[in-house]
Amino acid sequence: MEQDQNRRRFLQTSAVSVIGASSAIAFSKHVSTHEELETLKPLKNDGDMVCIASGNGLQAVEEAYANMKEGADTAVAIVKGVGIVEADPNDMSVGYGGLPNEEGVVQLDASVMHGPTHKAGSVGAIENILHPAQVALKVLQTTDHVMIVGEGAYEFARAHGFEKKDLLTEKARQAWLRWKQTRSTRDDWLDPDQMDWTQDGERISHVERIQDSIPFTYGTIHCSAVNQLGEVSGCTTTSGLSYKIPGRVGDSPIIGAGMYVDNDIGAAGATGRGEAVIQACGAYAVTEAMARGMEPTQACLNALKKIVKNSTKQRRLIREDGRPGFNVIMYALRKDGIHGAAAMFPRATYAIADSKGSRLLKCASLFD
Ligand code: ASP
């Protein structure tokens, strides 16, 4: 009911939303300003504070919400929230305890975006640092860059006083060892008969190999929030795809893929097969769909449809029943506090904290 009223308010303004600030900018007389842009006005937030996260983020949204209540900036609050999951050795998809790459080394990816300043910071394939989202926030706050990767990201973190920490837990090492001992073809190096290309770069058009399942573990935390001032921020942090090729960077630290914020519209994020999300500019696609007036849940489903259409062109990613052999979950939080999430398959949940408390909600699903 409350969501319905908010939705109506949103739809009244959405047709004229998006980039209100641009009206103050004088473009060159040679630039024809699109009519739509001239009439756009920012969305309103009526004072609702809302924080959402992936299903593993119940404690994270509680922490972020509590911090926002005490006046913390939205970006700072969500980075604190996801820090709980980054430090949790039992979550084998994020931070400490995360599953390592194929060499047994834990490499983490994270990104943060701050709506009010439209600044972003991210780190890719960073090693030995417990809180990559905090490092991403430092990139955002203290540099003119957006993304720092690998050794450079580690050195940057050390310069800011982050401690060196071995992130490989005994449980994760054992899991990696089992994978190493049994992997046969279960790695990310495609067999020649899995490729759509010859070694010489010639396109092969007859690849028909269908894969029954993708043998890797995905997992990540995405978290986004809006405060009473309508300030929106988003954050995604992960140890990425398990047993990945060293140096592989997923969607989580890529602005517009695993996370995106437009302060006039809202925030979006993704978990699941990062390669598919990158190839669809997933989070950007969700915010743009919301800018066109689509509801958050529909915007997420819309992005998933695109992902299915694009990535199932690779036959090895399709199951026998024609559905994708991987999952992706998209999350969306609109500036007016309306939120939604959608997964490829049923039973996924997402976490929320708002004035009614914190709880897990069901994600919509693209397939039954
Ligand atoms: N999206 C992450 C990645 O591909 C993993 C995940 O969310 O499960 O690195």
CATH number at residue 56: 3.60.20.30
Beta carbon of 326 within 6 Å of any ligand 1 atom: no
Looking at residue 45, its pLDDT comes to: 66
Give the residue carrying structure tokens 């609050």: 77
Beta carbon of 218 within 6 Å of any ligand 1 atom: yes
Q: Looking at 39, 74, 185, 220, which residue is catalytic?
A: 220
Structure token pair of residue 134:
């905090």
Structure token pair of residue 23:
């009206």
Q: Decide the pairing of beta strands 357-362 and 339-343.
A: unpaired
Looking at residue 201, its pLDDT comes to: 76
Q: Which of 274, 198, 203, 239 is nearest to 97 (CA)?
A: 239
Ligand 1 centroid from CA 63, angstroms? 23
Beta carbon of 251 within 6 Å of any ligand 1 atom: yes
- 220 belongs to the catalytic site: yes
The residue whose C-alpha atom lies closest to atom 9 belonging to ligand 1 is: 240
Asked if residue 22 is part of any domain, the answer here is no
Atom of ligand 1 nearest to the CA of 220: 7
Asked if residue 197 is part of any domain, the answer here is no
Asked if residue 273 is part of any domain, the answer here is yes
Q: Which of 140, 129, 153 is nearest to 74 (CA)?
A: 140
Structure token pair of residue 350:
């997402």
Residue whose CB lies within 8 A of the most ligand 1 atoms, among 99, 149, 238, for a mutation test: 238
Q: Report, as ranges of residue numbers, the positions in the chain whose pLDDT lies below 50.
A: 1-2, 8, 11-22, 37-40, 206-215
* CB contact at 8 A, 280 and 303: yes
Asked if residue 329 is part of any domain, the answer here is yes
Atom of ligand 1 nearest to the CA of 248: 9
Residue type, 215: P
pLDDT in tens, 158-208: 999 999 999 999 989 988 888 877 765 567 767 666 667 676 777 765 444
309: burial class by Cβ within 10 Å (0-12, 13-18, 19+)?
A: exposed
Asked if residue 193 is part of any domain, the answer here is no
Q: Which of 48, 17, 25 is nearest to 290 (CA)?
A: 17
pLDDT in tens, 240-263: 988 899 999 999 999 999 999 999
Atom of ligand 1 nearest to the CA of 219: 8
Structure token pair of residue 331:
């999350």
Alpha-carbon distance values, 6 to 43, 55, 264 (Å): 11, 24, 16
Beta carbon of 54 within 6 Å of any ligand 1 atom: no
What's the whole-model pTM score?
0.85
Looking at residue 209, its pLDDT comes to: 41
Paired residues of 197 in beta bridges = 203
Beta carbon of 6 within 6 Å of any ligand 1 atom: no
Domain that holds residue 131: 47-177+211-365
Asked if residue 32 is part of any domain, the answer here is no
Asked if residue 63 is part of any domain, the answer here is yes
Asked if residue 28 is part of any domain, the answer here is no
Ligand 1 centroid from CA 276, angstroms? 10
Beta carbon of 331 within 6 Å of any ligand 1 atom: no
- Number of separate domains in the chain: 1
